[in-house]
């Protein structure tokens, strides 16, 4: 499909492409959802690939400040790095690319993305 093609640069998603942090993210969000009285199983699929503030605002929960909740969730996610794993082969592949020719794009805040990538490389 891409044989013989040339690319100027590559953009990669973080979760599921470079690292797997699904378990950590879902632990934090499940705790938050339970505190809000939400159906955790129905709610968790809505969190992936969307900024926390947007996920919370979309719910329009009475008395819930999306900015404050997103900040609290970020702190909780920064504190929970258990089980964050590298995607097999991703680090070697990225190392084979010129560093100025690729980037990771993610809905995660930069601080969280860097922490999760570092956590995955320590395993």
Report CA Rg, the chain.
Answer: 17
Residue 65, Ramachandran bin (φ over 0: left; ψ between -120 and 50: alpha; else beta): beta
- Whether 56 and 70 have beta carbons less than 8 Å apart is answered as yes
Predicted TM-score (pTM) of the model is: 0.87
Residue from 13, 39, 80, 82 carrying the catalytic annotation: 13
pLDDT (tens digit, 9 = 90+) per residue, 73-85?
A: 999 999 999 999 9
The parts of the chain modelled with pLDDT lower than 50 are none
Tell me the C-alpha distance between 41 and 63, whole Å. Answer: 23
Give the separation between CA 29 and CA 16, rounded to whole angstroms. Answer: 18
Whole-number Å distance between alpha carbons of 85 and 52: 22
Is 13 in the active site? Answer: yes
pLDDT for residue 32: 98
How many residues would you count in the chain? 123
Q: What is the pLDDT of residue 3?
A: 82
Q: Is 15 one of the catalytic residues?
A: yes
Helix (H, G, I), strand (E, B) or coil at 9: coil
Residue in 15, 39, 80, 82 annotated catalytic: 15
């Amino acid at each position: 499909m891409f044989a013989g093609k040339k690319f100027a640069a590559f953009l990669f998603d973080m979760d599921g492409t470079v690292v797997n942090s699904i378990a950590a993210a879902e632990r934090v969000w499940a705790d938050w959802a339970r505190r809000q009285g939400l159906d955790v199983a129905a709610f968790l699929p809505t969190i992936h690939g969307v900024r926390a503030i947007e996920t919370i605002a979309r719910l329009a929960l009475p008395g819930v400040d999306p900015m404050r909740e997103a900040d609290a969730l970020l702190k909780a996610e920064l504190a929970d790095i258990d089980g964050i794993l590298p995607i097999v082969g991703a680090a070697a592949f990225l190392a084979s690319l010129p560093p100025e020719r690729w980037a990771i794009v993610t809905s995660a805040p930069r601080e969280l993305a860097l922490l999760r990538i570092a956590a995955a490389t320590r395993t």
